Structure 1
Amino acid sequence: MAWQSPISPGISWYESSIDDRPEYRPLDGSVNASVAIVGGGFTGLQAAYNLAKAGVDVVLVEAHRFGDGASGRNGGQFGTGQRWWPEEYEEEFGLPLSKQLFDMAERAKQYVLDFSTENAIDIEYMQGHMIVAHKPRFEKYFRANPEIAAERYNYPHLHFMEKDETATRLGSARYHFGVYDKNTGHIHPMKLIIGLAQAAQAAGAKIHEMTPATKITSESGKVRIETARGTITADKALVATDAYTEKLEPVTSSHVMPIGSFIGATPPLDNFPPILPGKESVADSRFVVRYFRKTRDNRLLFGGREIYSSEKPEEIGDHIRKQVVEIYPALADVPFTNAWGGYVGITMPRFPFVRQVAPGITTIGGYSGHGVLLANYCGKLYADMISGKQTELELFRGLKVPSFPGGRTFRAPLLFLALSWYAMLDRM
């Protein structure tokens, strides 16, 4: 029987599609380490893996099971570049920094693929990704994007899709045009997190599930992480809890906001061959983005970021079904085998929050829906930084990420109002 996450609603198709996940024993007693890590998602486990490989004594604690958070329940899409299109960063920061950020994301993409190959992890990587426009007024920007990417960012892998090509590749006439990216794709994220945990343990990292951290302090040159099962005393610590930080680390919580993301999975669509015949992944141009893809076994996984009043899996399916039928009316009577949700960490400007929040304590999170690439790579970069290397984490550290208005009490309702406003604009 698939494990039901206590922190996220519904059993994901990812969980249903695999054998039982390996279990890792909780922390038992107090320990010392060079580096302590709180959070066992992509960031934390990659940091633990790379630190252990470098011979660093590292201990990691995860409050639940590896994969219960966003790293094991997300849409599985890579994308290209950062959260925005590169020309948007260019307007904000200028071409040199925008190019550095783009190149960093490309290295992140290659890192995940190389890591999976080197560790024999079948992440079910499937190539091809589309960004499609739900409004015709975006045409100027969509047409310019491939040319800008090729000429200014040395990325010749995009092409503009006219309406006919868009409809053929999607199996739907719902969108007006799009951009096709042949040099990226999508994966099975739970298989990656399972393989990553195994690789981290094999490298010598001490990793523990079902061990929630209750307090983090820094004093007298040491970091102490308290849990119900013992205290970790370390020289340095990484907080990699992202959307699930809550009250544990207040600086992170004020800058990284959890937002609900929900996905439904159909049975294999063998009777609907026109729907995504190339099995690419798709994201649309809405602010409250809809994202979907075909799995290796021909299922449609369809996600939308909305904050719903209910977290019951059957009601998640009802909300997602309405969005599916707008694009694929033929699927109106096709049931979901799984409907699930989870929480994504976002920041105000939609790029990661990387800071030293106290002596010896670094926090990394807020990938804003781009975490399959960036979370893995940032974990690796943190390990490089601890080893004394100059890293690209400094690019993120230098970007201004303001805190959310309203504090912990009012930020959620304010964000709900903002998202509701943008969702209304998406429909106009």
Structure 2
Amino acid sequence: MNLLFSNDRLGAYPPSLYAATTPTLPPFPQQRGEERADVVVVGGGYTGLSAALHLAEAGFSTMLLEAHRVGFGASGRNGGQLGSGQRLEVDELEKMVGKPGARALWDMAEEAKALTRDLAARSGVAVHDGVAHAYRKPSEIDHSRRMIERLARDYTYDRVESLDREAFRAILPSDAYIAGELDHGAGHLNPLALALGIAKLADQAGAQIRELSHVHAIRHATRAGEKSIVQTAKGRVLCDHVILAGNGYLGHLDMQVAARVMPINNFIVATEPLGARTAEVLRRNIAVHDTKFVVNYWRLSEDNRLIFGGGENVSYRFPKDIAAKVRKPLLQIYPGLADVALTHAWGGTLAITMNRMPCFARPAPNCLSASGYSGHGLALANLAGKLMAQAIAGQAQGFDAMAALPSPPFPGGTMLRWPMLVAGMSWYSLRDRLGA
């Protein structure tokens, strides 16, 4: 099954609130015939767009190939949460790479957040400060307080505020949670507007963007002086370097990466404008996510709609009634919204890894890849693109630091990763329902 075309119409943005309210860019041309570039970037999400922007600004002839429209994939349809840190918390990172390594990864994530805020500012995209983490069990509160202390003491990050039940309910009036924390250094934004803004910056910097240009195959150079050949439906591009930025839509372009990066689907709805009822949902303009394995996450739009994501899926096909699937977890948190209309419902494909850390790799001597952000990619994907651009320019320290992290393949590789995901999702979904 080709996830690029399984759930979406060719060249059409999904029926999201973002696509309905965000002015899109004029279409970019399709790749045709034989073209040449120093670097070909495959994929027009944050990773690819950031790479194309930074390569073009560094003077490289760059061509970005996107099978649909720029910002079509997860980058243009996600929950819009700009989180701090890596996908794993610092105590887990310290076990993985030691305290100095964990501190370096934290600093890199802070750089990713600063880069994303800068790209948003250059694109005229508003970033609203504050992301809350909602807790269901006392043990989660205890762990949170230890992490807040550790971040302030060892990572010079004092932006996270612990909130007891009363303080948390003053922000988020729901009986579903017993307490929480609020990261004042994190934020939320319109993800499609950001993707389109970076695309416009890349275009202005001289990157050649080609839409409706599905990459079917890549023949990597095998000896000095030979060009790599990137094949599309209507032509091909000869280049010196290739960047793979397809994430959950990579398919079989590289089986080494595919064995380590698993696509999964997630679903989001948007309500009608809530008006005065906004106070029933959030009393500050922040984003929220909770501690379930099948995580719930939400925030308010600029016109006070609730944008809510949640609900698991054990098929690569989107369900026929996405709204019904997501309404269930929404009403578990906000039962008073049962009479509120859902005006938009959409799905999307992201990618996870075995250890939930991004997979940075060199699939061929002249090829770089970054993917598998595991739901934490809004900032890290932008940094990944910049790091790959720097590596091509001869400054590979940042890329190599990420590539040195463990990136184990899923047991059974691409053949068995999906059955294992189904089993794992079923188990963790049961734990969520039981409150474990």
TM-score (norm 1): 0.95
Are 1:394 and 2:394 an aligned pair?
no
**Following TM superposition, by how much is the alpha carbon of 1:311 offset from its aligned partner in structure 2, in angstroms?**
4.9
**Following TM superposition, by how much is the alpha carbon of 1:137 offset from its aligned partner in structure 2, in angstroms?**
2.7
Contact persistence 1:30–1:229 (CA under 8 A): no
Which residue is 2:4 aligned to?
none
Which residue is 2:180 aligned to?
178
Which residue is 2:205 aligned to?
203
Q: Which secondary structure state, in structure 2, belongs to the residue aligned with residue 81 of structure 1?
A: coil
**2:164 maps to which of 162, 165, 186:** 162
Which residue is 2:9 aligned to?
6
Q: Which secondary structure state, in structure 2, belongs to the residue aligned with residue 37 of structure 1?
A: strand
**1:21 maps to which of 12, 22, 25:** 25
Task: Give me the whole-angstrom Cα distance separating, in 2, the residues matched to 1:346 and 1:421.
Answer: 17
TM-superposition CA deviations, 1:43-63 (whole Å, max 9, x none): 111111111111111111011
Task: Give me the whole-angstrom Cα distance separating, in 2, the residues matched to 1:9 and 1:190.
Answer: 10
Which residue is 1:76 aligned to?
80
Contact persistence 2:36–2:238 (CA under 8 A): yes
Task: For 2:62, give the aligned amino acid.
Answer: V
Task: Give me the whole-angstrom Cα distance separating, in 2, the residues matched to 1:346 and 1:316.
Answer: 21
**Following TM superposition, by how much is the alpha carbon of 1:115 offset from its aligned partner in structure 2, in angstroms?**
2.1
Task: Give me the whole-angstrom Cα distance separating, in 2, the residues matched to 1:49 and 1:310.
Answer: 32
**Following TM superposition, by how much is the alpha carbon of 1:264 offset from its aligned partner in structure 2, in angstroms?**
0.6
**1:251 maps to which of 229, 248, 256:** 256
Q: Which secondary structure state, in structure 2, belongs to the residue aligned with residue 427 of structure 1?
A: helix
Map 1:207-222 onto structure 2 (within 5 A).
207-218=209-220, 219-220=222-223, 221-222=226-227
Contact persistence 1:131–1:285 (CA under 8 A): yes
**2:272 maps to which of 267, 270, 286:** 267
Task: For 1:93, give the aligned amino acid.
Answer: V
Are 1:33 and 2:37 an aligned pair?
yes
**Following TM superposition, by how much is the alpha carbon of 1:68 offset from its aligned partner in structure 2, in angstroms?**
1.5
Contact persistence 2:387–2:396 (CA under 8 A): no
Task: For 1:189, give the aligned amino acid.
Answer: P
**Following TM superposition, by how much is the alpha carbon of 1:313 offset from its aligned partner in structure 2, in angstroms?**
6.7
Task: For 1:367, give the aligned amino acid.
Answer: Y
Task: Give me the whole-angstrom Cα distance separating, in 2, the residues matched to 1:214 and 1:14.
Answer: 29
Task: For 2:248, give the aligned amino acid.
Answer: A
**1:88 maps to which of 81, 89, 92:** 92
Which residue is 1:232 aligned to?
237
Task: For 1:364, give the aligned amino acid.
Answer: A
Task: Give me the whole-angstrom Cα distance separating, in 2, the residues matched to 1:91 and 1:359.
Answer: 31
Range moving further from structure 2, 15-24 or 315-324: 15-24
Are 1:55 and 2:59 an aligned pair?
yes
Which residue is 1:106 aligned to?
110
Task: Give me the whole-angstrom Cα distance separating, in 2, the residues matched to 1:357 and 1:278.
Answer: 45
Contact persistence 2:36–2:237 (CA under 8 A): yes
Task: Give me the whole-angstrom Cα distance separating, in 2, the residues matched to 1:93 and 1:330.
Answer: 45
Task: Give me the whole-angstrom Cα distance separating, in 2, the residues matched to 1:10 and 1:229.
Answer: 25
Task: For 2:282, give the aligned amino acid.
Answer: L
User: Where in structure 1 are there 5+ consecutive unaligned residues?
Assistant: none
Task: Give me the whole-angstrom Cα distance separating, in 1, the residues matched to 2:366 and 2:348.
Answer: 30
Which residue is 2:3 aligned to?
none
Range moving further from structure 2, 328-337 or 297-306: 297-306
Contact persistence 2:87–2:357 (CA under 8 A): yes
TM-superposition CA deviations, 1:23-72 (whole Å, max 9, x none): 11101211111111111111111111111111111111011111211010
Task: For 1:224, give the aligned amino acid.
Answer: I
Which residue is 1:413 aligned to?
419
Task: Give me the whole-angstrom Cα distance separating, in 1, the residues matched to 2:410 and 2:311.
Answer: 19
Task: Give me the whole-angstrom Cα distance separating, in 1, the residues matched to 2:181 and 2:91.
Answer: 15
Task: For 1:79, give the aligned amino acid.
Answer: G
TM-superposition CA deviations, 1:208-230 (whole Å, max 9, x none): 00000111111334211111111
**Following TM superposition, by how much is the alpha carbon of 1:9 offset from its aligned partner in structure 2, in angstroms?**
9.4
Range moving further from structure 2, 330-339 or 265-274: 265-274
Question: Identity of paired residues, percent?
Answer: 39
Task: For 1:336, give the aligned amino acid.
Answer: L
Which residue is 1:130 aligned to?
132
Task: Give me the whole-angstrom Cα distance separating, in 1, the residues matched to 2:301 and 2:319.
Answer: 21
Contact persistence 1:158–1:180 (CA under 8 A): yes
**Following TM superposition, by how much is the alpha carbon of 1:259 offset from its aligned partner in structure 2, in angstroms?**
0.5
Q: Which secondary structure state, in structure 1, belongs to the residue aligned with residue 251 of structure 2?
A: coil
Which residue is 2:432 aligned to?
426
1:260–1:217 Cα change, 3 Å:
same
Task: Give me the whole-angstrom Cα distance separating, in 1, the residues matched to 2:318 and 2:409.
Answer: 31
Contact persistence 1:77–1:185 (CA under 8 A): yes
RMSD: 1.7
Which residue is 1:241 aligned to?
246
Task: Give me the whole-angstrom Cα distance separating, in 2, the residues matched to 1:295 and 1:364.
Answer: 30
1:309–1:215 Cα change, 3 Å:
closer
Which residue is 1:278 aligned to?
284
Task: Give me the whole-angstrom Cα distance separating, in 2, the residues matched to 1:175 and 1:234.
Answer: 53
**Following TM superposition, by how much is the alpha carbon of 1:196 offset from its aligned partner in structure 2, in angstroms?**
1.0
Contact persistence 1:5–1:68 (CA under 8 A): no
**Following TM superposition, by how much is the alpha carbon of 1:123 offset from its aligned partner in structure 2, in angstroms?**
2.1
Range moving further from structure 2, 219-228 or 168-177: 219-228
Task: Give me the whole-angstrom Cα distance separating, in 2, the residues matched to 1:54 and 1:187.
Answer: 28
1:390–1:283 Cα change, 3 Å:
same
Range moving further from structure 2, 381-390 or 187-196: 381-390
Contact persistence 1:161–1:177 (CA under 8 A): yes
Q: Which secondary structure state, in structure 1, belongs to the residue aligned with residue 280 of structure 2?
A: coil
Task: For 1:365, give the aligned amino acid.
Answer: S
**Following TM superposition, by how much is the alpha carbon of 1:390 offset from its aligned partner in structure 2, in angstroms?**
4.0
Task: Give me the whole-angstrom Cα distance separating, in 2, the residues matched to 1:70 and 1:229.
Answer: 25
**Following TM superposition, by how much is the alpha carbon of 1:192 offset from its aligned partner in structure 2, in angstroms?**
0.7
TM-superposition CA deviations, 1:204-249 (whole Å, max 9, x none): 1111000001111113342111111111111111011010011222
**Following TM superposition, by how much is the alpha carbon of 1:195 offset from its aligned partner in structure 2, in angstroms?**
1.0
**1:381 maps to which of 387, 395, 400:** 387
